[in-house]
Amino acid sequence: MATFLSSLQKIFLYFILVLIGLYAGMLFNHKICPVETQLNPIEYAKYWKIVDGTFMHERMAIMGPGMGIIFAITILLFLKNWRSLTFLFLVLACIAFAIDINFTLREQLPINAFINDLDLNNMTEVQTKQLIAFQAKAISNFDTRFIHSSISFLLLCLSPFFLNRLHKKSN
């Protein structure tokens, strides 16, 4: 039974590591290829309507909660080892991820909704000014989210280094 639990722990730990790695990588792409900074506000809104409207919104609505569930299952699998460094890094990584999700829901989703609701052919002066402000805020948001996701990923990367010690103790 201990071998089965150990195998299950490893599977879920590496699975969440891959998922968070992909997520952090997506945000890293925004950092190294900041397309949004090179576009005027109208071009940015057109671009973001495509990115969020056809890719991000649908997939992140599934991927975010999915990663949260995998994190929760993984933490529960390691609960017996709550005093281990693996557990500590896992929980801290989950906290960084939760901070990022909260930040995204609070700061980025209202911007996405505003842009997706815009009629780019009939914008008012007020909407144009708001779009300019939101473009700058969205770029800043991605920088912040990159930090959150990187912290989560780096903490998860540390956790497997202590698995062998953890499993030797429990046997």
Predicted confidence (pLDDT) at residue 7 exceeds the cutoff of 70: yes
Express each pLDDT in 86-119 by its tens digit. Answer: 999 999 999 999 999 999 999 999 999 999 999 9
Average pLDDT over residues 145-155: 97
Instruction: Read off the pTM.
Output: 0.90
Q: Among 65, 35, 59, 57, which Cα is nearest to 111's?
A: 57
- The count of domains in the chain is 1
- pLDDT of 53: 83
Q: Which domain holds residue 138?
A: 2-170
pLDDT grade for 168, boundaries at 50, 70 and 90: low
Sequence-distant (≥ 6) Cβ neighbours of residue 48 within 8 angstroms: 36, 112, 115, 138
Express each pLDDT in 21-48 by its tens digit. Answer: 999 999 999 899 988 899 999 999 999 9
Sequence-distant (≥ 6) Cβ neighbours of residue 52 within 8 angstroms: 112, 115, 116
- pLDDT of 170: 57
